[in-house]
Chain A
């Protein structure tokens, strides 16, 4: 029979132990997890994210239910352990269970700390610890207005931000004169308070609550100084205390937490404790990072390996409130032998402090910019000597110290924040698996697979790791893993051989997968359409969902609908229509977009065709790799500074180029003067009116890698704007890689090269002729869907009778 491991507590610590155990010794034990909560283990630290409206409870589950089956772990939810018989090695539960074990892991976590002042048991007073609390806040926000949070620490502030997002009036009561005073110094604390006040929170500092007022339901709080505050909801978030009741009843040694040694063993053989309920060397941690380290030591210890004891954790705190970057680790106040390096940039609202003792970092506080946090933390953990490092620099010119930066980066530093991939993980994959391109790294490690913001860094790591073996020409990458051919080779072959469908491409060019993948099929569909605009029959099955549904898919599977508003100009009739359609189809939110139009969010897939029919407006292509919007400023029609008709030109551009398919989305803007109110400076095509002329800026981007536009041309007439824009867009369509924004494309081919191509009048005319052919072949997709029964069918859901 396998040894039986029983885990009490179905939270982050319990499940992490199980994960570590099965990773180390798969199928070696008979594991049972028993927990009070109804749901399987979920990521408790993300609860504030759910409360702030940025996710759902379902997304929090640490492991899907299938995982428990696969790992043959028995999960008993909604069941509480009532007694441990440590001599018989049995636990009893409130459901009458008597479960034998060989080893017992106690991971009962902690309980919210409740100050027992009078009236605390009134309705409307809650804590912030679990999913039920989260739901209670969301429910209460539907009918109640005034919320008071007791506690200006991490938990309290995250709860307060969540309640603000739920449209409640939020006051935070704190007992000292500084927020987060256990993690921040006075300067950072003050900056945090100012920022949160800006966001709409009210603070009552240095207040001590004496009792809760109200009859059955809370009506407010009374303070020691005689003042009172009204409240419909009170959230107590003053801290946590380890949940040790069961352990102390069992006779295990407890102090603040359950006392454990360096191998997570309690005072009784065969019983371990881990996570927030455990106390190691006098410290009971209330954060998540230590439990990961503890779980790993525990798993090794169970397997008989006691080579690496747990020696405590360097903990850090990060406040999860949107728009506020706060980071703190280790010491944060000056004391004997500890000196601080401070940077305080008031113009940018950035404050950083690093605490140094014996040439080592022993603590840090950061506000406003926490991009250095993982680097500093790893210096701190490795106790690196910082004596020789440059401590402070002032207004140094920008420089690209790429390779040095990569070399000095510790292996444990996170490179890809979206997928949690470290530098070490990337270098190991490069070395062990002989990777040569960023694409391969992406496929192997997930680094830069989500937002792509870290791709330049991944590329630098690749170059650094490979050294002389690095070959830039390797980076002329195949378009995906299905082929070894690059974009140019494929486009050339399609052109030469006159290939007409993606299927032919796969067979003629001998791709490995004969139906390609989600990368190459949409690319090929684009290239074929670009090369043969009149003949090519677009393949819906080769388009991403948004371009098939002509709407943007949202995280909950609903869609968003954006009708076109030329130049951002609308009418009262259009607005009435949008309002009516919105009511009729129960649109969840109407939002004004950054591109000066209206986004109707939360539309059901089945309703899309009817919504388009009722709107009777052109598609805004907000979902497409196509011309999105032309943003305009008010211009000479109304503006006292405007010298040009920006709206007129914007509308003309949008009417001409709407529905144009491009390698990636294209955003334009027209501003009537250099104040550039339409933000023309970082658009794919941005036009700015100057005295008697228009300036055309191209290749700008306001997204992942912010990039100012490059001046392409200065022209005097609207006609020339149209012609230059047409030629520029067509050249982009013909030479860019699919999914390459104009900013990356201009960067790659060079603005001077683009200027040179467009300086040839004949070439300019040819490009314009070709774009006109492509434009003539387009039709409004919403109208098309309404006219064609088979297209409409794809929006239908089949329902149970």
Chain B
């Protein structure tokens, strides 16, 4: 079942408790017409990128995460979750979004 996210204001959205985001994995968040992949990295930090590989639109939230990078599940493109840059030998980039954790809640900022 889909889980409801709650809205704080137009640009900052509460997307749930940090414990709902297991480490070293991604989660799909559908918000304000965006599909966003939110990652909880093993170093504890949270990152968010558009959930769409620039290659063939693969859902990045389902990719394998190694350090700061995610591998697209469709054709294994390697993408930095920090700056959205596609790694060599492929090229391109995906949009990133700021994520903050306050009082155990995760907030996504969308412009």
In the complex, are the beta carbons of A800 and B31 less than 8 A apart?
Answer: yes
B64→A541 contact, CB < 8 A: yes
Q: How far is the CA of A544 from the CA of B110 in the complex (A)?
A: 29
| Interface check A28, CB cutoff 8 A | no
CB–CB A794/B73 < 8 A: no
Q: A549 on the interface (CB 8 Å rule)?
A: yes
Across the interface, do B30 and A798 meet the contact criterion of CB distance under 8 Å? yes
CB < 8 Å neighbour of B75 from A67, A450, A801: A450
Contact (Cβ within 8 A) B30 A545: no
B30, B38, B64, B92: which contacts A800 (Cβ < 8 A)? B30
Distance between A393 CB and nearest chain B CB, rounded to angstroms: 39
Q: Is the CB of B78 within 8 A of A800?
A: no
10 interchain pairs, CB-CB under 8 A: A444-B89, A515-B65, A521-B66, A522-B64, A541-B22, A541-B64, A543-B64, A557-B57, A799-B31, A800-B13
Cα A772 to Cα B75 in complex, Å, equals 35
In the complex, A177→B74 CA distance in Å? Answer: 45
Contact between B66 and A798, CB atoms less than 8 A apart: no
Tell me if B66 and A515 are in contact (CB < 8 A): yes
Q: B73 near A544 (CB under 8 angstroms)?
A: yes
Cβ–Cβ contact A796 & B3, under 8 A? yes
Decide if B4 touches A799 in the complex (CB within 8 Å).
Answer: yes
Q: How far apart sit A518 and B22, CA to CA, in the bound complex (Å)?
A: 18
Using a CB–CB cutoff of 8 Å, the interface residues on chain A facing chain B are 58-59, 64, 66-67, 443-446, 449-450, 513-518, 521-522, 540-545, 548-549, 553, 555-557, 605-606, 790, 793-794, 796-801
CB neighbours (8 Å) of A794 from chain B are 22, 25, 27
Per the bound structure, the CA–CA distance linking A793 and B20 in Å amounts to 8
Pairwise interchain contact A553-B73, C-beta atoms closer than 8 A: yes
Point out which of B5, B62, B92 has the most chain A C-beta atoms below 10 A from its C-beta.
B62
CA separation between A102 and B93, bound complex, in Å?
A: 32
Task: Report the bound CA distance from A548 to B63 in whole Å.
Answer: 10
Contacts of B24 in A (CB 8 A): 515, 541
Q: How far is the CB of B62 from chain A (nearest CB, A)?
A: 4
Is the CB–CB distance between A544 and B57 below 8 Å? no
Contact with A along B1-34 (1 / 0, CB 8 A): 1111111000001011000101111011111100
Known: A58-B57, A553-B73, A557-B58. A801 touches B5 (CB 8 A): yes
Q: Do A66 and B93 have beta carbons less than 8 Å apart?
A: yes
Which residues of chain A come closer than 8 Å to B1, judged between CB atoms? 606, 796
Q: Would you call A553 and B57 a contact (CB within 8 A)?
A: no
Q: Cβ of B6 and Cβ of A801 under 8 Å apart?
A: yes
Q: How far is the CB of B57 from chain A (nearest CB, A)?
A: 6
CA distance A655 to B74 in the complex (A): 31
Which residue of the partner chain B has the closest CB to A61? B54
> Which residues of A lie under 8 Å from residue B20 when comparing CB positions?
793
Whether A797 and B30, one on each chain, are in contact in the complex, defined by CB atoms closer than 8 angstroms, is yes
Contact check, B56 vs A59: say whether CB atoms are below 8 A apart: yes
Q: Contacts A59-B56, A515-B67, A555-B56: A797 and B89 contacting too (C-beta < 8 A)?
A: no
Closest Cβ of chain B to A565, distance in Å, is 27
Per the bound structure, the CA–CA distance linking A98 and B74 in Å amounts to 44
Are A541 and B76 in contact (CB-based, < 8 A)? no
Beyond A557-B59, A794-B25, whether A801 also contacts B4 by CB under 8 A is yes
B97 interface contact, C-beta 8 A: no
Name the 9 nearest CB pairs between A and B, nearest first: A518-B71, A545-B73, A800-B31, A545-B62, A541-B24, A515-B66, A557-B59, A798-B29, A797-B28
Any chain A CB within 8 A of the CB of B42? Answer: yes
